[in-house]
Every structure is written in structure tokens, then in C-alpha cells.
Amino acid sequence: MENDAVNELALKRNPSLVSLIYEKLENMILSGQLRSGDPVNERALSMQFEVSRAPIREACRRLEQAGLVSIIDNRGAFVREVSKTTATEVYDVARLLSSEAARHAVANVTDEEVRKLTAMVEHIERDANRDDLSSYYAHNDLFHLELVKLGRNDKLAELYRSLNNELTLYRQRGLRSFPDFERSLAAHRSIIEALARRDSAAYQQALDAHSTKMTERLLNLGV
Amino acid sequence: MENDAVNELALKRNPSLVSLIYEKLENMILSGQLRSGDPVNERALSMQFEVSRAPIREACRRLEQAGLVSIIDNRGAFVREVSKTTATEVYDVARLLSSEAARHAVANVTDEEVRKLTAMVEHIERDANRDDLSSYYAHNDLFHLELVKLGRNDKLAELYRSLNNELTLYRQRGLRSFPDFERSLAAHRSIIEALARRDSAAYQQALDAHSTKMTERLLNLGV
DNA sequence: AGATTACCGATTGTCGACAATCTGTAATCT
DNA sequence: AGATTACAGATTGTCGACAATCGGTAATCT
């Protein structure tokens, strides 16, 4: 099931080898298949994927820019270890961006978007009810990214996405807190509700409260 | 004077070929030597620097991540054209980060830092008096970056630096507004002064006003 | 003439080989 | 024995060559 990754890559093609390899590796890291500190060996991967080292190497450099691996000169790439200090910094910036986006969201949001977001919330609730944690986390992240996009600033949204990836890596590093479903889902509901009412103050307040709560929970884990 | 770039690179060494090439190219772009839309040809550069294409290629990918070039598949890298829309977005995020850093600056700043910043302001003033625009711009950017670092969030400062590089590219794209020295230098003075007094409100207000003024001036150029 | 197709030059994409560099271990010296 | 040095293995860094792909131009067709 894993050694036909070759064909996977060979067939899809055109999205460029590097992109495919990048996504594969990103996924392996964010899903926890590769853990913090693990080496990312160019030759080993080039044999595993049956391509030369060049595209692998390039993908690794992209992973570095994305903050997912650290590269040590002449030593190679290693899945990054995100310290609590760094994670705190990243959280702070992500919250700042999210909050800024929220300030502009209500003025721009369309009915269509409210419907889409509502659907996403419901999807997350289904994941929670089925205890499908991995899907829950993924869709939760997507939901929040979509909220940020309401700020109508592509650059800001892109930065947010990138920061959130780093945070996912941090969360992945060790024991993972079991989410407080009840509280979290309720928060989502009130966020969406305020948005539907076009109540900017309530929306910003609900979102900030939710973000702060999440941050606290996640940072108080590793102690 | 320019074609011994070869020896420059060959001698410095160890900071890795890629880093040297990256910095060289970054400098060529930010200084306006390479202008928006110009192709960044791998083979040409590899001959100019007398290295193989591999390190050039890698440097180009880093430039892309830094937002300084766009890469089109199978077509190569081109110095990026930053639209006014994008520049506005980037400005908004940069201002947000700067403002957030300002909120924490007074609580943390040391006397040593105040001295250093004062020296930087004086340096900028000398540049202004000598009408050394290129030095003026460079030190002005450094000054503002140093202010952001007072926020004690490395990640935030790094993002700010990166965003500012993109903005430099935007400014470089066409006609450049002649700076309003008098107003700008006065603003620097009051920023530093508020900082020295540890007057947080005044500091934040002075900095935000200055940033906003700069933004307006720069964005109203290309119309 | 206008549109379509086939080709050509230029550039990037990928490859396999070799050089440079680092880490850890074993041999040597005091 | 402890410290130092020399070596070996593994990995990245760099290179030159070839393949794939793109844009534009010239030849062809209607």
C-alpha cells in the first residue's frame, strides 16, 4: 500500500514532481508519520520514490521555508522541533492575523459564504460525533482558515495558513490534548450565528474568545 | 568592478554558495539593478558567477519564497511585479505587525536599545542631509525593523522583515516618491522620545501615525 | 490574407557521478 | 587511562549532460 507511491507519483504528473513530493512529505509530517527530529534523507527518499535526488532536495528546501524542517549544512534536513517558546510566538501572530481579519469580515461576508461556513461547522460536528479526530482537526483548521479569508486579504490569509501549519507540527510533537468538543462546537455555533446576524462586535468577540481558549489549552500541554 | 563577482564568491566561501548567490541576487533586486519583469536566467547566472546551475536554481527558489521573483513552470524565474492591490495587502499586514510589536515595546526596551535606536536615527538624519537616498532608505528600513524587534517576538519580526522586502520591491518598480525628510525625521524623533520616556500610549500613537503617513505616500504614487 | 500546423531555439526539469564535509570510531601517543 | 589524531562511512554539495517543455516563427493549407 505504501510502495506504489511510485505509480501514484508517476501517474498524476504535471503538477510537477517537486510539488507532488512536497505535498507527500508535508502530509507525512503534518500527519505525524514523520516525527520531530526525524531525518529527511535525500537518497533514501529518492530511492523510495524512484526519482533522482534533485526534486527531493528542492522539496526539502520548500519544507524548510514552510517551517516544517530545519536544514543543517552538510547534515541534511530534520523534521523541525518546535519549542514551546516558538509555538507561543507563532500562536500570538496567528491570533493577531485572525483577529484583524475578523474586524473586516462582517462588512464583506456574503450569504453564500455563510452557508458554506455553516456546512463546514456541521461537517466538523459529524467528525466529532464519530470521534474521527484526524478529520476533525483537519476540517477545524480549514474552517478557521475560511474565516480568515473573509478579511479579504490574500496575503494575510496565506501567512495565517503557513503559521497554522507550523502549529500543527507543534501539536503533533507529543501527547495531544483531547479536544473539548462540547465547548468548541458551541463556540463555532455562536461565531457563525454572529456572522449571519452581521453583528461585527459579537463576531469578533466570539472568535477571539474561542482562539484564546484554544491557545491556552494547547500550550498548557507540554508544560 | 563588476566582473570580479566571481572572486568575491570564491573567496568568501563557507557561508555556502547558495547563500552568497541568494544575497547577491536579493541585493540586485532590492537595489533595482534587476527590475520587475526581468528574467532571472539560470544558465546565464551560472556562467556569470562561474558555478553550476544547481546553486543558482536553489537560490531562485528561495527568492520565490521571499516573494521577490515569480517562477513559471518550464519558463523560469522573473523578478516579481507587485500590483498595487498586493502592495496594499502587504502594507496592511506589515502595519498590523508593527503596531502589535509597539504594544509590547515599552515594557521591554532597555536603555542600551534606546541608545542604539537614537544612534540609528542620527545616522538616518546624516543620510538625509547628504541626500544619500539609497543609504537613507536602507537605514530607515533597518530602524523600523529594530523597533519591531522590541516586541520580543522573533517570528513576528522575521515576518515583518520579509514583508518589508516585498514592499521594497514594490517601491523600486517605478518612479519613487522623494521622501518628506522634514516630516519623517521629526516623526522618528518623537517616536524615540516617547520610547525613552517609557510612554507607551504616546509611542504607539507616534509610530502608527508615522506608518500610516508613509503608507499613504507610497501607495498614492503609482495611482 | 488568415488561420493552422510543424518545427526550431532557448530554457527549465531531471538525472547520475563525483567532490566536499561532517560525525563517530579506532588507532596512536603521552 | 586519557587525550589527540587519523581514518572510514555516510550524507550533502556541486557539477556537467541529457530529456522534456515552452514560445515563437516559418511553412503550409484553405
- B16-55 pLDDT per residue, tens: 899 999 999 999 999 889 999 999 999 999 999 999 999 9
Q: Average pLDDT of A39-47?
A: 96
Look at residue A90 in the predicted model and tell me its pLDDT. 96
Which one of A49-63, A175-189, B177-191 scores highest in mean pLDDT? A49-63
Contact B96 A92 (CB under 8 A): no
Q: Could you read off the pLDDT of A151-197 as tens digits, one per residue?
A: 999 999 999 999 999 999 998 876 667 788 999 999 999 999 999 99
Residue B43's pLDDT is 96
Query: Which pLDDT does position A14 carry in this prediction?
Result: 61
A221 has a pLDDT exceeding 80:
no
Could you give the percent of chain A with pLDDT greater than 90? 80
Name the average pLDDT for chain B: 89
Quick: pLDDT tens for A3-30. 333 334 334 446 789 999 999 999 999 9
Q: Does position B10 have pLDDT exceeding 80, yes or no?
A: no
3-state secondary structure string, chain B? CCCCHHHHHHHHCCCCHHHHHHHHHHHHHHCCCCCCCCEECHHHHHHHHCCCHHHHHHHHHHHHHCCCEEEECCCEEEECCCCHHHHHHHHHHHHHHHHHHHHHHHHHCCHHHHHHHHHHHHHHHHHHHCCCHHHHHHHHHHHHHHHHHCCCCHHHHHHHHHHHHHHHHHHHCCCCCCCCHHHHHHHHHHHHHHHHCCCHHHHHHHHHHHHHHHHHHHHCCCC
Q: Do B86 and A155 touch (CB under 8 A)?
A: yes
With beta carbons less than 8 A apart as the criterion, state whether B79 and B35 touch: yes
* pLDDT value of residue A173: 76
- What mean pLDDT is predicted for residues A133-155? 95
Give pLDDT, residue A5: 35
Task: Give the residue-averaged pLDDT of B79-99.
Answer: 95
Going from the C-alpha of A185 to that of each of A45, A188, A210, B150, the distances in angstroms are 40, 5, 10, 37
Q: Tally the residues of chain B.
A: 223
User: Please, which residues have CB within 8 angstroms of residue A167's CB and are 6 or more apart in sequence?
Assistant: A87, A90, A91, A94, A218
Mean of all residue pLDDT scores within chain A: 89
Are the CB atoms for A92 and B153 separated by under 8 Å?
yes
**Band of the pLDDT at B200, cuts 50, 70, 90?**
very high
Q: Distance, angstroms, CA A196 to C1' D17? A: 61
Burial of B13 per CB tally in 10 Å (0-12, 13-18, 19+): exposed
* B132 phi-psi bin (left φ>0, alpha ψ -120 to 50, beta other): beta
| Interchain pair B155, A90: CB under 8 A | yes
Tally the residues of chain A: 223
- Of chain B, the percentage scoring pLDDT greater than 90 comes to 80
CA distance B149 to chain A (A): 13
Give the residue with greater pLDDT, A173 vs A53: A53
What pLDDT, on the 0 to 100 scale, is given for residue A174?
66
Q: What distance in Å separates the CA atoms of residue A68 and residue A81, rounded to the nearest whole number? A: 9
Of B111, B114, B143, nearest in space to B126 by CA: B143
Q: Which residue of B has its CA nearest to A74?
A: B16
Res B176: pLDDT: 66
* Grid coordinates of B93: 499586514
Position with higher pLDDT, B5 vs B82: B82
**Structural domains present in chain A:** 5-79 (1.10.10.10), 84-219 (1.20.120.530)
As a whole-number percent, the residues of chain A with pLDDT over 70 amount to: 91
The reply to whether residue B89 touches residue A159, judged by beta carbons under 8 angstroms, is: no
Give residue B45's pLDDT: 96
pLDDT tens for residues B91-139? 999 999 999 999 999 999 999 999 999 999 999 999 999 999 889 999 9
A122: closest CA of chain B, how far (Å): 31
Tell me which residue in B16, B90, B153 faces A155 most closely, judged by beta carbons.
B90
Per-residue confidence band for A88, with pLDDT thresholds at 50, 70 and 90: very high
